[in-house]
Chain A
Amino acid sequence: MSMEAMQVVAAKLLTDHEYRASFFDAPPNAFADHGLERAEFLVLRMLDASKLDIVSEGYVGKRWDVIGSVFPRTLDALAHFCPGARQTYLESTSTPANDTEERAAFRTFLDETIDVATDERRYLCDLAHLDGALHDHPLPAGLPEYRFRPESTKPRRAADAITLAVAGPLEHHIGLRTNTSAPRLEASSSPLPWSYSESPRNLLVLREGGSFTLELLDDNQAALLASCDGTQTVAALVQAHGTDADNRLRTWFRHRIVEDAASV
């Protein structure tokens, strides 16, 4: 018996309900249609199809759980724009090999497949971008440790600092006080009229405790952040970028956008 051939069929039986139905409905001599020898086919036909149905349901649910764990705000928004998204997604995509591919499939679904207005699609894609970044870059444990001494502290961009290139004004549409809030939409009514114009921009995610805010990263701030390479002191940066840089850097330290290269 070919173990791999049997496992391929078993994998399909677990994840594809149409294949499962065709396999168990097939005539006894249809083994070659499934890439199996007769004996292999007979062994797999001994499996309990109804139990596989139940197990498969659980697998589908876990797929959506994976998406929900990475994209919680996006799913909140999807509930407004496209209540049937879960079913559409699970029916239109095959079971991916791993969670990374699941994430990629979901992003493609938002970008290309889902039936929503252009503004809504733009918003959902930006929101998924934010969700993915927050998921991949959790805040380190504990409070940030730094001493703000302008003459010796040398700001360096932290590894988990999040900047986002988004397509629209996401900072105006996301809850400002908690990282679990849905976008600012009226839950009781249609979200329209509503717009999320194309307006590419860069955002900085300022996190503290369990909450975050989004801040527009303008050219001056971007230049300041780019200068935070751990070689220059706060005083030198203030001299180069103006007095506002002092307050900006204090904020960034508090929110772990930068760390002190002189002490870390």
Chain B
Amino acid sequence: MADLPHLGVGLGYREPMRRDILANLGGLDFFEVVTDAYFRNPKALQALASLKTCIPHSLHCSVGSSTEPAYLEKVAGIVESLAPPWHSDHLAFTHAGNVSSGHLAPIPYTDEALDLVVQNIRRIQARIPVPFALENITMVFYWPHSTMDEHTFLSEVVRRTGCHLLLDLENVRVNTINHGLYGRGGRDFLDALPLERVAQVHIAGGQHHKGLEHDTHAAPVSAATWDLLSYLCDHVTPPGILLERDAALPPFSELLAEVQRARSIVQRVLA
């Protein structure tokens, strides 16, 4: 990770938080911005980017099916305007043919899918000369004909493309519970990844609904996810740790406290 700057601990920028964020800039090290929200007006980010580093995070590169050139151009425009140390999207598909999946959908972990993902990431890297980080998602289902594990798949993508990882620890927690995929509460999953390639970490809180865990970003970070962050930081110091909160917004002081808790974990390990 020597090639990436260490940004510290940040917050996912959302417009409803704007006033609180601007009033508490000192407590936040960087922001992540969802590119798709600014395609119509990329200039809206300029003022924010003049205050703190903004990491572009896109939603629909759909590396698991086809990365559309027109979409990639829009992302490239945002990335170029922000000049971030990296940008990111998900290991997922959001459309297949002309059909939308409505959200980030999982892909099968097969050789065919691996070739496709590698091809799409190389296309992104060729168009946007800024390090790209790939995020693990919450798997709403697990493809029964997968021939390898998620961590094997991710590791191979990283090896073949040289991309980085955006490690979403809440998604690890959710997948651990919903699918029983990873041992030791997700720690086995972390152990199997090339952690030196982690550019950024996501932490968030989810909710339990009808027997399943959901990555809603609408609750405080759970104890299990804090544990995963501590475990991760025992092994590496991620260049960026980011708190995501999209709904059921609490008093901003609570979000700042979570940011500070993450910062304390990193500092404890460094000390």
Do A and B interact?
yes
Q: Does B219 contact A (CB under 8 A)?
A: no
Report chain A residues within 8 Å CB of B99.
8, 11-12
Q: Does A52 contact B (CB under 8 A)?
A: yes
Report chain A residues within 8 Å CB of B101.
7, 10-11, 14-15, 95
Q: Does B96 contact A (CB under 8 A)?
A: yes
Report chain B residues within 8 Å CB of A51.
140-141, 212
B247 touches A11 (CB 8 A): no
**Smallest CB-CB separation from A56: which chain B residue?**
B102
Give the size range of A's interface with the partner: 35 or more
A52 touches B44 (CB 8 A): no
Q: Does A172 contact B (CB under 8 A)?
A: no
Q: How far is the CA of A200 from the CA of B108 in the complex (A)?
A: 54
Tally B residues with Cβ within 8 Å of A: 50
Report chain B residues within 8 Å CB of A8.
96-97, 99
Q: Does A92 contact B (CB under 8 A)?
A: no
B96 touches A4 (CB 8 A): yes
Interface residues in B92-139 (C-beta closer than 8 Å to A): 93-97, 99-103, 105, 107-108, 110, 112-113, 116
Interface residues in B6-22 (C-beta closer than 8 Å to A): 15-16, 18-19, 22
Report chain A residues within 8 Å CB of B22.
141-142
Q: Beyond A43-B144, A95-B100, is A14–B105 a contact (Cβ under 8 Å)?
A: yes
Q: Beyond A43-B145, A48-B141, A137-B44, is A99–B103 a contact (Cβ under 8 Å)?
A: no
Partner of A52, one of B46, B97, B141: B141
Report chain A residues within 8 Å CB of B251.
none
B112 touches A54 (CB 8 A): no
Q: B35-43, B82-90, B221-229, B232-240: which lies at the A interface?
A: B35-43
Q: Mark B164-182, 1 if CB is under 8 A from A, else 0.
A: 0000000000000000000
Q: Does A192 contact B (CB under 8 A)?
A: no
Report chain A residues within 8 Å CB of B59.
98
Interface residues in B63-82 (C-beta closer than 8 Å to A): 64-65
Interface residues in A112-144 (C-beta closer than 8 Å to B): 135-138, 140-142
Q: Does A47 contact B (CB under 8 A)?
A: yes
Report chain B residues within 8 Å CB of A43.
143-145
B100 touches A1 (CB 8 A): no
Report chain B residues within 8 Å CB of A54.
209-212
Report chain A residues within 8 Å CB of B103.
14, 59, 62
Q: Mark A206-239, 1 if CB is under 8 A from B, else 0.
A: 0001100000000000000000000000000000
| A interface residues with partner B (beta carbon < 8 Å) | 1, 3-4, 6-8, 10-12, 14-15, 43, 46-48, 51-52, 54-55, 58-59, 62-63, 65, 69, 95-100, 135-138, 140-142, 159-160, 209-210
